[in-house]
Amino acid sequence: MVNFTVTVPGTPSFSSVAPNNGIQGATLNNVVILGASTHFGATTGVSVSGTNVAVTNVNVTSTTRLTCTIAIAAGAGTGPRNVIVATTASSETVTGTSVFTVNSGLPTITSIAPNVGPSPSTGITITGTNFTGVTAVTVGSTPTTYTYTSGTSITNVAIPSGLTVGSTYDVQVTNGIGQSAVVAGDKYTVTGASSGNGNFIYESGGGVMMAYPNPFNPLDKANPLKMLFNVPTGEAVDIYIFDTNGRVIYQDKNSQVGSNRTVNWFGDTGYGEIVENGLYLIRVVNNGKLVAKGKILVIKK
C-alpha cells in the first residue's frame, strides 16, 4: 500500500510591487512584482490602471516573480493605481488594488534663506523637493539666476533689482513637470535696496539700515525686531524709537561699537510695557548726528 498526499493549489493572488510609488515624469527600472500561487510565464504582461503610465521590459524570473520598467508621464494623474498581471497561457489574472501611487513631480519649496533683504541681493538659498531638472527660478514674475545644488537645494539665487521696498514676492521653481505652487515658505520680503557694497539702505538718506520682521509682532518673543545698520568702527551710537507723535518709546544709548551692528528689540517701552499697534520711527544717532533711520509697523497678534 502506497501513501500519498493530494495538494490543493492555492488561489493565485497579487503580493507586492517594489517600489510602490513614483513621481510624475520618472522612469522606474527593475520594478519587482511578486505573486502567490501564480503561474507567471512567457506570455505574462503587466499594466497599471489609468492613463499615462506605461509598463515595458517585463522579465519573468519565476512563476511568482517578475521585473519590469514603469514609465510615468509628466502629465500622469496623481494618486493610487492598480497593478494588473495577466498570464495568457494559463488565463490567469491577478490584480493589486491601489498598490502603486503616482506622486507629484512638481517642485515644492519649504524655505527661503534669508527670506528678507534688499533688492538686488545675491546668495539666497531655496530648500524643498523635486529640484532635479530645474529649468527656471522666478522672483515674482521675474526670472533670475541660480545654481542647482541638489534635488532639495538651489543656491546663489539672485534677487532682482527694482523690487518694491516693503513688498513680499513669491519665489517659484520650475522643472520639466511644471512650476512650484505658491506656499507660505516661498516668500521673500524686500526690506531695502542694495547700496552696492553688500550693505542695506532701508530708507534713503541718513545712513544704512535694515529692520525686520516688518510688520513686527511684539508678542512673538522668539522673533524680536532686528535692526541692522552700518557706521564707522569704534563709534558708539544712540538708538531711539519714536511714535508718530515724536515721543521716545525706547532708547539704547552708547552701545554697539562694531561697524556692522545688529540690535534686537522685543517691543518693550522704557517702562517695561509692550508698545501699542502703530507706526514707529527708528533713529540711530552718533554725536548728535543722524547716521541711520528706518520705520517699523507694530501689529500685535
Q: Assess whether 210 and 225 both reside in one domain.
A: yes
SS (H, E, C) 56-77: EEEEEEECCEEEEEEEECCCCC
217 shares its domain with 173: no
Query: Phi and psi at residue 99, in whole multiples of 5°?
Result: -95, -10
Return contacts of 273-281, CB within 8 angstroms, 24+ apart.
274/218, 274/219, 274/300, 275/218, 275/243, 275/249, 275/250, 276/300, 278/243, 278/244, 279/243, 279/244, 280/241, 280/242, 280/243, 280/244, 280/249, 281/241, 281/242, 281/243, 281/244
- Give the total residue count for the chain: 301
Parallel, antiparallel or unpaired: strands 92-103 and 21-23: parallel
81 and 130: one domain?
Answer: no
pLDDT tier for residue 198 given thresholds of 50, 70 and 90: very low
* pLDDT per position as a tens digit, 134-174: 999 999 999 999 999 999 999 989 999 888 877 899 999 99
Q: Are residues 290 and 206 in the same domain?
A: yes
Instruction: For residue 25, give the 3-state DSSP assignment.
Output: coil
- Is 181 inside any structural domain? yes
Residues 159, 142 within the same domain: yes
pLDDT of residue 1: 56
Cα(210)–Cα(202) distance, integer angstroms: 5
In the chain the first and final C-alpha atoms are separated, in Å, by 91
* Strand-pair category, 278-286 with 237-243: antiparallel
In this prediction, residue 153 carries a pLDDT of 93
Are 231 and 183 found together in one domain?
no
Residue 267 neighbours by CB distance under 10 Å:
23
Cβ contacts of residue 194 below 8 Å, gap of 6+? 118, 119, 120, 121, 161, 200, 201
Q: Look at residue 80 and tell me if it is in a domain.
A: yes
**63 and 38 Cβ atoms separated by less than 8 Å:** yes
Domain shared by 149 and 129, yes or no: yes
Shared domain check, 237 and 294 = yes
Range of the domain at 122: 108-194
Q: Is residue 3 part of a domain?
A: no
For 234-263, the pLDDT digits (tens) are 567 788 898 888 888 888 876 655 545 677
DSSP tag of 294: E
* pLDDT confidence tier of residue 218, bands split at 50, 70 and 90: very high
Assigned domain for 4 exists: no
Q: What is the pLDDT of residue 252?
A: 82
The reply to whether 287 and 266 lie within a common domain is: yes
Domain count, the chain: 3
Parallel, antiparallel or unpaired: strands 65-72 and 53-62: antiparallel
For 30-81, what is each residue's pLDDT tens digit? 999 999 999 999 999 999 999 999 999 999 999 999 999 999 998 899 999 9
What CATH number did the domain enclosing 119 receive?
2.60.40.10
Q: What is the CATH number of the domain that holds 280?
A: 2.60.40.4070
Answer yes or no: is 1 within a domain: no
Residue 58 inside a domain? The answer is: yes
Q: Clarify whether residues 99 and 112 are in a common domain.
A: no
Domain boundary among 194, 221, 254: 194
Domain end, chosen from 103, 138, 166, is at 103
Select from 137, 166, 194 the last residue of a domain: 194
Q: Would you state the pLDDT for residue 202?
A: 34
